Amino acid sequence: MQTVKELIREDHETLNTTQTTSEALKHLESSKDLVVVIEDGSYKGVITAEQVFRHEVTNQGQKINAVYKSAPKVAIDTELPEALRLLYEDDLKIIPIFDDDRLVGVVHLNDVLDAVINEETDIRAEDIMSTKMVSADPDEAIKQVMGKLRNHKITRVPVVDHTGKPQGIISVYDIVRKFHKPQDKQEASERNQARTSLHGEKHSPFDVEVKSVMQRDLTTAHSNTKLPSIINLMHDDDVGSVLLVDDENRLEGIITRRDILNQLVQEYHESDRTVDINIATNIDNIGRDELTTMIANFVEKFQNSIGHGHINLHVSRHKERRGGQSLLYGRLHVRCQKAKHHVTAEGYGPRHLTRNLLRKLRTLILKHHQDQQQVSTAEYFEHFDITSL
């Protein structure tokens, strides 16, 4: 089995936790860039442009210590399926590679996907693409798109016209390059001052229109394109997503490296469970075993309605707290033989969040079967134990 050793790159920077995000941003041009964070000579984690954006860093003096993300120390002899799992569970596009305690480089998700994809697979873009997309209008203000990116926890938004045809795409990285990097930030401030003097009113640099910042060179394909071809497109065009269009060039969906990673993790990490359960989060001590047990108990109750497949739980933290517990945001993806659902919820603490997600999933399962089989609500209450989780 191939290991990460053959895929190591040395294109990364190393900064200390006491340095500033402005210094980090000098090295973060795209999703392929990574800064490794150290403290007193010891490895602490990583920082990307996406993290800077997510933390809404506007103070150029903000310390890296407040923004960096914990990430695993991946051994140089780690096999590629395990590397896929680590990239998935820690929501990373790049992982640092160590030979004992010595950092030897990084491995990119792109390279792992290229190495592990089965050229004979029958999986097509339509099998894993996202069709419920958040999009933007070319004349929309950048500040509105920033809100969409943060609220929906996504990294890119297709830009479409009134006919549904894609005109461009705008990502976190485009915005960070344009507005958050120190030099560009100064230029934007100077342009803003000039506009204020000229028009006598205050303008934010984020009032500019999407069409002035978006990427116009698009990578597109049809939804029936096979997965290896999608990966080749991403590799050849050096992009993180492909827009899926119909014969009239109307947008049908989007497929990202994350979608492909999710699919491959499911294929590589089949377990003894009827349903394979994965939990992806960067929160330490979240209690993965307990949350996995909660989901497994749910699966056991609804086995006949779910079938074989995969359930993936993504958890992130909000700033709000109550009673010592942080407000968490969760996404539950269900890709099973008899059920394909996507639910989101919030909750104070991991258990509360997971209960809320499972309650929503239960409702969707009941509704689906009632719609399909035309049975009465009374019959469903009798058939399913929905009074407890």
Indicate the domain borders of the chain: 4-108, 125-261, 273-383
Q: Choose the most confident range, by mean pLDDT, from 32-41, 159-168, 197-206, 318-327.
A: 159-168
Render pLDDT for 132-142 as a digit per residue (tens, 0 to 9). Answer: 889 999 999 99
- Mean pLDDT for the stretch of residues 223-233: 92
The b-or-e profile of 203-230 (16+ CB within 10 A means b, else e) is eebbebebbebbeeebbebebebbbbeb
Q: Which CATH architecture has domain 273-383?
A: 2-Layer Sandwich (3.30)
Res 346 pLDDT > 50:
yes
Helix (H) or strand (E) holding 332: strand 325-336
Residue 275 DSSP SS3? strand
Mean of per-residue pLDDT scores for the chain: 82
* Average pLDDT of the segment spanning 297-319: 84
Q: Give the pLDDT mean for 214-237.
A: 92
Distances (CA, A) of 90 to 66, 106, 327: 18, 15, 19
For the ranges 86-90, 101-105, 302-306, the one whose mean pLDDT is highest: 101-105
Q: Answer yes or no: is pLDDT of 185 > 70.
A: no
Helix 257-268 vs helix 109-116: crossing angle, to nearest 10: 50
Q: Are 240 and 31 in contact (CB under 8 A)?
A: yes
For residues 185 and 170, what is the distance between their CA atoms, to the nearest angstrom?
18
Any idea which residue has 């359930």 for tokens?
A: 311
CATH C-level class of 125-261: alpha beta
Which tokens belong to 292? 């996995």
Please report which confidence band the pLDDT of residue 306 belongs to, taking 50, 70 and 90 as the band edges: confident
The structure's pTM equals: 0.63
148 or 196, higher pLDDT: 148
pLDDT for the residue 389: 42
Q: How far apart are CA 351 and CA 345, in angstroms?
A: 12
Contact 360, 380 (CB under 8 A): no
Comparing 110 with 57, the larger pLDDT belongs to 110
State which CATH number among 3.40.367.20, 3.10.580.10, 2.60.40.10, 3.40.47.10 fits the domain covering 4-108.
3.10.580.10
* Model confidence at 307: pLDDT above 60: yes
Give 35's Cβ-side CA count (13 Å radius).
27
Q: Do domains 4-108 and 125-261 have the same CATH topology?
A: yes
Q: What is the pLDDT confidence band of residue 387, given thresholds at 50, 70 and 90? A: very low
Residues 91 and 70: their CA atoms lie apart, in Å, by 11
